[in-house]
Structure 1
């Protein structure tokens, strides 16, 4: 008879129109090819400030406006930017918000959604590039930036494993699953099996807490110890387990739990 699967542990081509329906309503009152002078001036000022001073010269809602300019070229995007910031709590929350929730905001259609998700993808690619194939231990801040970008604003728990080679360079970053608001399934045996397949020498566990508080649960601690023991038996090193909150992270290594 086949062996039952192990129970998971858990850690507590038609062309599109230029505008989607909601976005079209936002520009319907403005004749094609025209833009009021005050909007032209506003957009010009924001672009100039960004090009001259960079992102540091601008608050988050103005950076969001710049993203929206390309998606909605003939309307005042400030109200939409404000509505998005209010709903999702900040620029990072807007960019990483689930598509279904973004589409619930009046004025957000496929064009705006694409612009926001593109910004998220670019940010993730950039932060990941700073750690891929580089010694993780000496690039720790870059690794934390990547983990926060990828996971801090998720609304459900997500677990990922970072596999390292003998020089502690990142050779694989794999998401093992997504769960609910307070737990995610994780199979220790599968994590260690994958490490052997990749010929990894070490690994780092990472998961997020959608509540924002990265304090690990008793279940988190017990599961980490189980994986540590299994890794040790296979001559693998568990460098750390990072729990990512919205504003900060919890490191098992730094807190003496590894």
Structure 2
């Protein structure tokens, strides 16, 4: 038996108590390590997952960072094998899909801004390379499609404004929201970000396409070019 493992009966009893507490109080009553411990019970059988949860949070910095971590990095953690790593990534995909479904409801996207930011952060905040995505909206500002148009390097993604507008016309979109991430963690827009956004606006406007915003996602938060009066 591993030195840090609890006796099997004690561990089973602890797991049961954690589950019962969750059902009684809900996830909001749990610290990050406690909720992660509970999740890990689903993917790592017959092991004390409290210590593993704390190890993962220390290594990856946050709850979201654990699930967004690359599989090869997760595989280096003692206690995680190929199957458990795969299960963690499945759970991440479920969370992202849930978030996407929430913003695809019939209500206008601009009326569910907090859900949009949460969704974008779940998708992009912990990516190791830049990713440029476009949210295409109809005349009622409902989501038509969410597409990653380009991926790049750790600090640059090539964006071609005419290709953005071409895709908008293909979707019959009347409005756009641009989103990209800064793997450095700092969401402050660069001069290139501002220049590219204005170029897209200049092409879109004569065609009756509105650019609502360009959101930049970082580990430390997000920035809105419209909110910063740069759009």
TM-score, normalised with respect to structure 1 = 0.84
Q: From 59, 77, 82, give the equivalent of 1:110.
A: 82
Aligned 1:100-179 pairs, distance under 5 A:
100-132=72-104, 133-179=106-152
Q: From 205, 225, 233, give the equivalent of 2:198.
A: 225
Structure-2 change in CA distance of 1:26 and 1:117 (3 Å): farther
Q: CA RMSD in A?
A: 1.8
Q: How many residue pairs are counted as aligned between the two chains?
A: 229
Moved over 4 A (4+): none
Which residue of 2 is the match for residue 74 of structure 1? 46
Which residue of 2 is the match for residue 248 of structure 1? 221
Which residue of 1 is the match for residue 168 of structure 2? 195
Structure-2 change in CA distance of 1:191 and 1:46 (3 Å): same
- For the residue of structure 2 that corresponds to 1:130, the secondary structure is helix
Contact 1:209 1:244 in 2 (8 A): yes
- For the residue of structure 1 that corresponds to 2:103, the secondary structure is coil
- Segments of 5+ residues of structure 2 without an aligned counterpart are none
Deviations 1:213-241 (A, max 9, x none): 11000111111111110111222111100
Which residue of 2 is the match for residue 83 of structure 1? 55
- For the residue of structure 1 that corresponds to 2:214, the secondary structure is strand
Aligned 1:204-215 pairs, distance under 5 A:
204-215=177-188
Contact 1:26 1:75 in 2 (8 A): no
- For the residue of structure 2 that corresponds to 1:186, the secondary structure is coil
Give 1 or 2: higher helix fraction. Answer: 2
- Segments of 5+ residues of structure 1 without an aligned counterpart are 1-24
TM-score, normalised with respect to structure 2 = 0.93
Which has the larger Rg? 1
Higher relative contact order (CA 8 A, sep 6+): 1
- For the residue of structure 1 that corresponds to 2:177, the secondary structure is strand
